[in-house]
């Protein structure tokens, strides 16, 4: 068993973690929306006017800050007026990218209602690839305007007299690829046009530009340069990165596991490049922030033919926790991240099978990390050995992050043991403050490939962590491939 000793510097505050780092994303893809969210009012699955209740109850407990919709690639072939009005008269459309019909039963009103049911803010991605400026602008008016116009009357006729007040608006998705195979300069000119009219319609909205992917790293710089003197129209740039491509969701080797953990460093390189550009093009009057609104594991089992469905094991949990620790280091520029996707698709939080459902290990990491939202990152030091990945990268055996919540007078610590076979004892000391009480939970399993299914939902779930404390220190043991969260309540 290894021993890790560390110190939390309670007055060395590095900045605030945006709560939006713990946001999410759902798309009209596979079984994410249908029947992951929408089962219809006549379904035998318990629902509230068509929205399934087991999913809403589980997501409400996570307190997700924002939810991105309707895509993804789907967004740039989605026409929002298809999804309003009586559902019986909504047109049935061809889902261009995911090879399935789109009934449009779940549209703007249903999405807003779902967001309110789970207590999250809506983030809408507008169609640039096959849409028009007026289509995007009118969607903003329909959602946000309180004036007496034809569109707001239509919204009222459809059951919502009050504005939805949607704050976050994306202008296109992956426009270098499925969003239109555009060049960055061309997209930059389009963006200026869309952003001008959308912001004039609702001045307080936050506008999010399509950003880069590791395969197109030059995109951000050319886009920002093309904007010339219109950088005030960009509030955030949204980059994408997926990990684990080519690996299996269940039948992975130990080398695959360590290689995936090493891919967090590739994510860091992507973040470093993008944040440097955000800094370079920001001014005192207007800061451009960064969003990573698609990320997570994408295993070889997740294909279009399977609706991008994959299983989730403790490997996904460890990868997610390690990624969140990385995100804490990129404040204040990293404002939001949205893992893909919420239900039944890629690295989902929930899997469903008919009326049954289960929470994935990734869901439980979101639950364990809730205390970090809007917390102040504290500096800390600790010793840890490193592991070498098959690709030659060095990764830590143990990763720790700590934030302070002033309102609760509590320090939230999360710790990850990456090692597949060795347990670790952690001894953490506070440099100045004293401890009143501690509470800990841990997520682990006997075998890293263990996973939950709708028919067997309780293989992996958090349990109480035994934490020993004194006035200014605490200690606990972490089993292999585990994630822990400890709340340290401080004395006055």
Of 245, 183, 244, 242, nearest to 210 by C-alpha is 183
Which residue of the set 102, 110, 141, 294 is catalytic?
A: 294
Reading the block at residue 398, the tokens are 């143990």
Q: Residues with Cβ < 8 Å from 337, sequence gap 6 or more?
A: 20, 21, 22, 23, 291, 292, 293, 295, 327
Task: For residue 225, indicate whether it is catalytic.
Answer: no
Q: How far does CA 202 lie from the centroid of its chain?
A: 25
Given a contact cutoff of 8 angstroms between Cβ atoms, the answer to whether 409 and 490 are in contact is: yes
| Backbone dihedral angles phi then psi of residue 282, each to the nearest 5 degrees | -85, 155
Integer Rg of the chain from CA: 23
How many residues does the structure list for the chain? 492
Task: For residue 27, indicate whether it is catalytic.
Answer: no
Q: For residue 210, say if its preceding peptide bond is cis, omega within 30 degrees of 0.
A: no
Q: Residues with Cβ < 8 Å from 260, sequence gap 6 or more?
A: 243, 244, 247, 297, 315, 319
Helix (H) or strand (E) holding 428: strand 424-430
Q: How far does CA 30 lie from the centroid of its chain?
A: 19
Kindly tell me the sign of the dihedral angle through the C-alpha atoms of 390, 324, 328, 122: positive
Which residue of the set 121, 174, 329, 408 is catalytic?
A: 174
- Which positions are catalytic? 174, 294
């Amino acid at each position: 068993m290894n021993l890790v000793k560390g110190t939390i510097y309670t007055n060395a505050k590095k900045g605030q973690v945006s709560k939006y780092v713990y946001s999410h994303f759902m798309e009209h893809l596979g079984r994410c929306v249908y029947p992951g969210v929408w089962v219809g009012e006549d379904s035998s699955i318990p629902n509230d006017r068509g929205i399934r209740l087991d999913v809403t109850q589980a997501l409400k407990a996570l307190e997700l800050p924002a939810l991105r919709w309707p895509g993804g690639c789907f967004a740039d072939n989605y026409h929002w007026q298809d999804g309003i009005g009586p559902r019986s008269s909504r047109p049935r459309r061809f889902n261009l990218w995911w090879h399935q019909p789109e009934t449009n039963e779940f549209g703007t009103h249903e999405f807003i209602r779902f967001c309110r049911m789970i207590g999250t803010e809506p983030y809408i991605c507008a169609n640039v690839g096959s849409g028009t400026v007026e289509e995007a602008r009118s969607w903003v008016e329909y959602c946000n305007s309180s004036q007496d116009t034809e569109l707001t009357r239509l919204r009222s006729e459809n059951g919502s007299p009050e504005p939805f007040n949607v704050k976050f608006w994306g202008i296109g998705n992956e426009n270098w690829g499925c969003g239109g195979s555009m060049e960055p300069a061309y997209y930059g000119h389009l963006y200026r046009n869309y952003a001008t009219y959308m912001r004039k319609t609702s001045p307080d909205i936050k506008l999010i530009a399509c950003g880069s992917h590791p395969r197109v790293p030059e995109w951000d710089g050319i886009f920002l340069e093309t904007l010339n003197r219109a950088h005030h129209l960009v509030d955030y740039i949204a980059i994408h990165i997926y990990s684990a491509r080519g690996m299996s969701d269940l039948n992975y080797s130990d080398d695959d596991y360590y290689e995936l953990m090493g891919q967090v460093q590739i994510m860091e390189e992507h973040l470093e490049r993008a944040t440097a550009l955000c800094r370079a093009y920001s001014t005192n009057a207007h800061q451009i922030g960064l969003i990573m609104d698609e990320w997570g594991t994408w295993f070889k089992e997740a294909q279009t033919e399977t609706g991008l469905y994959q299983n989730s094991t403790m490997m996904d949990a460890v990868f997610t926790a390690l990624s969140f620790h990385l995100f804490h280091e990129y404040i204040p520029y990293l404002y939001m991240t949205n893992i893909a996707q919420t239900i039944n698709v890629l690295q989902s939080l929930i899997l469903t099978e008919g009326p049954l459902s289960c929470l994935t290990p990734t869901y439980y990491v979101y639950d364990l990390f809730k205390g970090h939202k809007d917390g102040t990152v504290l500096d800390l030091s600790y010793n840890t050995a490193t592991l070498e990945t098959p690709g030659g990268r060095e990764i830590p055996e143990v990763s720790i992050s700590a934030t302070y919540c002033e309102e609760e007078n509590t320090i939230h610590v999360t710790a990850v043991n990456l090692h597949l076979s060795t347990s670790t004892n952690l001894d953490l000391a506070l440099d100045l403050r004293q401890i009143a009480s501690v509470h800990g939970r841990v997520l682990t399993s006997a075998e890293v490939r263990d996973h939950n299914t709708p028919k067997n939902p309780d293989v992996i779930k958090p349990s109480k962590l035994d934490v020993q404390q004194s006035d200014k220190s605490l200690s606990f043991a972490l089993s292999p491939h585990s994630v822990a969260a400890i709340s340290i309540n401080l004395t006055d």
